[in-house]
Amino acid sequence: QVQLQESGPGLVKPSGTLSLTCTISGGSIISSHWWTWVRQPPGKGPEWIGDTFHSGNTNYNPSLKSRVTISVDKSKNQFSLKLSSVTAADTAVYYCASHAVTGTDWFDPWGQGTLVTVSS
Amino acid sequence: QSALTQPASVSGSPGQSITISCTGTSSDVGGYTYVSWYQQHPGKAPKVMIYDVSKRPSGVSSRFSGSKSGNAASLTISGLQADDEADYYCCSYAGSGTVVFGEGTKVTVL
């Protein structure tokens, strides 16, 4: 069964770049699913950041598109998130998830999440 | 892309049924049959309970059901149990490969 695990720095300075990696185990990144990043600020609802397919195709949240890059590393069975010019408003738990989209639309499974704090 | 509207809180006694609403627009909820619902316990990742408006993933209790009418979707939990106390989020496809989540509803079992 597919499992996802986020990794990366838990603290990023304002104006810096947030970088996270999601490692897929128990399955291949080369599948019909897309691979997603979702974030959840403390006490708030989830916010979809964007998706990538194993081909490198991407979809991004329009509100974050200018600052987001999601990429795939098939050799490592990983996909990554980069969010530039971060501010305190980007402080959140960041989740990676598998996104089923062929004639359907839902997220499962999810990683456990990783808290990223933007602070000097 | 605005967050879908949900009531902040809903409560019920054990054994009762409750319904959580999720209101969007014709560009998301009303335009597609791709509404999903997620349960989130404190400190845990969201877990899918309903997808494609009314389908239940394997392993999810039949006490959870979903429906949609126009620009609004609903999640009903019947036979409310203590473990159902959690936050619930709706989610909808919003076109052009994008997705939007709801604001969230805290369910309290009295």
Torsion of CA B52, B54, B58, B64, to 10 degrees: 140
Which residues have CB under 8 Å from B106's CB, separation 6+? B8, B9, B10, B86, B87
Q: What is the dihedral of CA A3, A48, A91, A56, to 10 degrees?
A: 70
Give the pLDDT confidence of A49-100 residue by residue, as tens digits: 999 999 999 999 999 999 999 999 999 999 999 999 999 999 999 999 999 9
Q: What is the mean pLDDT of residues B11-19?
A: 97
Q: How confident is the model at residue B83 (pLDDT cuts 50, 70, 90)?
A: very high
Residues of A in contact with B103 (CB under 8 A): 45
Q: Are B50 and B105 in contact (CB under 8 A)?
A: no
Is it the case that residue B1 has pLDDT exceeding 90? no
Closest CB to A45 among B1, B32, B104: B104
* Residue B98: band (very low, low, confident or very high) from pLDDT cuts 50, 70, 90: very high
- C-beta of residue B103 within 8 angstroms of C-beta of residue B3: yes
Q: Which of chain B's residues have a Cβ under 8 Å away from the Cβ of A114?
A: none
**Inter-residue contact A84 to A67 (CB < 8 Å):** yes
Residues in B closer than 8 angstroms to A105, CB to CB, are: 32, 34, 36, 51-52, 93, 99
Q: State whether A59 and B98 contact (CB < 8 Å).
A: yes
Share of chain B above pLDDT 70, in %: 100
Strands B9-12 and B105-109: parallel
- What are the tens digits of pLDDT across the range A18-41? 999 999 999 999 999 999 999 999
Set of chain B residues whose Cβ sits within 8 Å of the Cβ of A100: 51
What is the residue-wise DSSP string for A14-37? TTS-EEEEEEEESS-SSSSSEEEE
What confidence score (pLDDT) does residue B34 get?
97
B75-90 burial, b for 16+ CB within 10 Å, e for fewer? bebeebeeebbbbbbb
Q: Is the pLDDT of residue B103 over 90?
A: yes
**Chain B residues lying within 8 Å of A62, measured CB to CB:** 1, 98
Residue for token pair 């081909």? A55
Q: How many Cβ atoms from other residues are within 10 Å of residue B2's Cβ?
A: 12
- By Cβ distance, the residue of A48, A99, A108 closest to B101 is A48
**Chain A, chain B: beta-carbon pairs less than 8 Å apart:** 62
To test the contact with chain A by mutation, choose from B28, B38, B99, B101 the residue with the greatest count of A C-beta atoms within 10 A, namely B99
pLDDT at A59: 97
Say how far apart CA A42 and CA A56 lie, in whole Å. 31
Q: Any idea which residue has 């845990």 for tokens?
A: B44
pLDDT in tens, B32-76: 999 999 999 999 999 999 999 999 999 999 999 999 999 999 999
Q: Which of A45, A48, A111 sits opposite B45 (nearest CB)?
A: A111
